Amino acid sequence: MTLSILVPVRNEGANLEIFVKMLEAFVETPHEILIIHDTKDDNSIDVVQRLSDKYNSLRLIHNTRGVGIPNAFKSGVEAAKYDCLMMLVADDIGFVFSVEEMISLMDKGYDLVHGSRMLPGSKTINRSFLHSKLVKFGNKIFRFISGFPLTDPTLGIKVFRKSKLRELNLTAKPIGWAILYELALKSQIHNWRVAEVPVITINRLFGGESTFSYRWLKEYGKWFFWGILNSRN
């Protein structure tokens, strides 16, 4: 396996220092790391340029499609060298302990492997009580009604195949990480082989404020009801 790791950023300089070092320490699979920025004055750029002297796996990708995760996602997919892609968030390092397990499942023939905060062995650190309850309640209700197997489709930590994406028409608005939720739902409708592994998530351990906004709930809610209406139960 070879892996392209896609990491959208917006002024994540403080987090990238430890993020890149943790990735390089724990990811044994041959890989590249694509740091995808929207603007030329992003403070992530200087950090990546400095770290690239030590880690030749690092690449800077300027997203010129427009701001937002969906546009950064598409720019990263287009620039990726390898078919196996991993989407990660720069403000969280807990997932590194699960990366190799996720990749090993892809190597066994799965099309999409998710990180899950719902499975035994998972842990969430430094999240607000309300946010954690919304995630848990929303995912449980959705799974119960839709019958879809994934326990945590809203989480942005995923590994998937670039060659399979052409089967999906991803249309989520550039609001939060909704495009990854859409990807999770449509992959199940298209009968992809999907799997999950428990992950540890640590929010903003090394700096900055969370970009999460409750204003995202409208877009997430749209896909919540779309998934229910298009489920086969």
DSSP reduced 3-state for 39: coil
pLDDT for res 103: 94
- Could you count the other beta carbons within 10 Å of the beta carbon of residue 128? 11
3-230: which CATH number, 3.90.550.10, 3.30.930.10, 1.10.260.40, 3.30.70.20? 3.90.550.10
CA dist 23 and 35 (Å) reads 13
pLDDT for res 127: 61
DSSP type of residue 165: G
124 backbone dihedrals φ, ψ, rounded to 5°: -120, 125
How long is the chain? 233
- Could you count the other beta carbons within 10 Å of the beta carbon of residue 214? 9
Tokens representing 203? 């929010």
Could you identify the residue written with the tokens 């995923």?
158
Residue 152 exposed, middle or buried by CB count within 10 Å (0-12, 13-18, 19+): buried
What residue spans define the domains of the chain? 3-230
Q: Which long-range contacts (CB under 8 A, 24 or more apart) does 133-140 make?
A: 138/220, 138/224
- What is the chain's pLDDT, residue by residue, as a tens digit (233 residues)? 899 999 999 899 888 988 999 899 999 999 999 999 999 999 999 999 999 999 999 999 999 998 888 899 999 999 999 999 999 988 887 788 899 999 999 999 999 999 998 888 877 776 665 666 777 777 788 888 888 888 888 888 999 999 999 899 899 887 878 899 999 999 999 999 999 999 888 765 555 555 555 567 788 889 888 998 988 65
Tokens representing 232? 């086969």
Say how many CA atoms lie within 13 Å of 152 toward its Cβ: 26
DSSP reduced 3-state for 192: coil
